[in-house]
Amino acid sequence: MSERSSQPTVLIVGAGLGGLMLGALLEKADIPYAIFERTAVVKPLGSALLVGPNMIPLFEQLGIDKEFIAMGRPTPKITVNREGGPPLYIVSSLPQVNTGYYSYIVARPLFYDLLLKQIPTEKIHFSKRVLTISEKEERVKIHTADKCTYEGDILVGADGAYSAVRQRMYEALRQEGRLPKSDQEDLPFHSTCLVGQTTPVDFADFPEFQEPLFGNMTSSKAAEEHRFRESDNSQWGPHAAQAMVDETRHFPLVVGTKKMTMGDLYDLTPEGRISKVMLEEKVFQTWNSGRTVLLGDACHKLNPSGGHGAITAMHDATAIANIIYALPANANTNTVHKAFAEYQAERIVPVTESYNTSKSFSKIMERGIVGMIALFLFKNIPLWLLNIIYKRQILIRPQAGFLPIIPLKGTVPAIPSPSTEKARAVYDRRMAAVSL
């Protein structure tokens, strides 16, 4: 059997941004895969995404960079407000000379649809809720609620903070006495928020949007509530959104010289496009076992204040795609397990840094003395230190080693990605063998 014909079959559970990115990369690598999504249709809720230098080289590899830039808005700075008061702070990125790219604000539904278009329709299966998983004889199986069974060589859990794949994997590890204590604890829960997206607005009513190369995002934080949990949770599910909408309608907003309330924005938002979400925060210790591996919120749930969640999930997907591509023919379970341990070793440091950054930003939005101190410290950070922080955020710019490498731009070099280099070495060997 040739190396190409013995590529592993990958089962991806979860059709969020991380799962779709992995599917898009495997499609380019000609590696067989299928995506299983528990819902009948994915509603990519959320206000917007800020995506830039960390991802655009990868978009160039996939051939979607021009379409992405066309749907986004160049955003060198963002003003953050709290409940109608003056700006809390302004996040200004340094000139694009650092990377050769701007950051762009893009509507999450548009970006989701862009990635979804990269997946052939026959390779994504909706209404497939995973009940159990099993590994036997160098194969992995998933069993779904509609009494179907699917078999492959690798299982990827990309199914969010309450991942069914993680829960099943952890159950097996716990029975074997191999699950760390911290992974047996519930996700820490601190607060809730509303996310949604309005219909297109008249720019005359929102003058900030008419400023060149500028985007504006307003964030508010409701009073803390008792933890809301249910057995079948998901990141963007509509959990009692209407009650929170009613509670926060009166929150004041200042748009230009016009006084508004959050209720004015709610009235511009179609029914079903606003959801209540829980802001859990945790980096799990265990990301893989045997032929099963986790990515994104399934193994690290970040507070959205830092805006890193989607990026870290797509970076995870890139590393996993590289790792899978570089696997030897007919790799046994031990080899697969070790390869995914390398994935975690590569990703744990930047993920932990993003986790800490997100927690720091969330402190700024808090009420009381903690928020006041955090905001004071942030506003008084020396420019040289801000430059260092920003540059650290753009060091991670992974690419797919099995696709033509995009030359890096700008003055800030990227940190080498071990998985990219490993996949590139395998790609070069394969191309050399073909030429012979």
Mean pLDDT of 221-232: 33
In whole numbers, what is the pLDDT of the chain averaged over residues? Answer: 81
pLDDT of residue 52: 85
Question: How far apart, in whole angstroms, are the C-alpha atoms of residue 285 and residue 234?
Answer: 21
Residue 277 to residues 30, 201, 233, 242, 304, Cα–Cα distance (Å): 36, 24, 10, 12, 11
Give Dmax (Cα) for the chain: 71
Among 70-84, 167-181, 397-411, whose mean pLDDT is lowest? 70-84
Condensed to tens digits (0 to 9), the pLDDT of residues 306-335 reads 567 899 999 999 999 999 999 999 999 999
Q: Is the pLDDT of residue 409 over 70?
A: yes
Written as one string, the DSSP assignment of 317-348 is HHHHHHHHHHSPTT--HHHHHHHHHHHHHHHH
pLDDT of residue 7: 85
In a domain, 260, yes or no: no
Q: What percent of the chain has pLDDT over 90?
A: 47
Q: Is the pLDDT of residue 381 over 60?
A: yes
pLDDT of residue 105: 87
In a domain, 357, yes or no: yes
How many structural domains compose the chain?
Answer: 1
Mean pLDDT of 25-40: 96
In a domain, 66, yes or no: yes
Joined tokens for residue 369: 């003395």
Condensed to tens digits (0 to 9), the pLDDT of residues 236-266 reads 445 567 777 888 888 887 666 677 888 888 8
Joined tokens for residue 253: 């907003």
pLDDT of residue 199: 76
Q: Which residue has the higher pLDDT, 228 or 73?
A: 73
User: CATH code at 362?
Assistant: 3.50.50.60
Q: Is the pLDDT of residue 37 over 80?
A: yes
Mean pLDDT of 56-60: 96
pLDDT of residue 372: 67
What residue numbers bound the domain in which 128 lies? 10-73+98-187+282-435
In a domain, 124, yes or no: yes
Residue 227 binned pLDDT confidence (cut-offs 50, 70, 90): very low
In a domain, 220, yes or no: no
Q: Is the pLDDT of residue 6 over 50?
A: yes
In a domain, 102, yes or no: yes
Contact yes or no for 35/23 (Cβ under 8 A): yes
Condensed to tens digits (0 to 9), the pLDDT of residues 266-278 reads 888 877 677 776 6
pLDDT of residue 128: 96
Contact yes or no for 51/21 (Cβ under 8 A): no
In a domain, 127, yes or no: yes
Question: How far apart, in whole angstroms, are the C-alpha atoms of residue 178 and residue 337?
Answer: 15
In a domain, 148, yes or no: yes
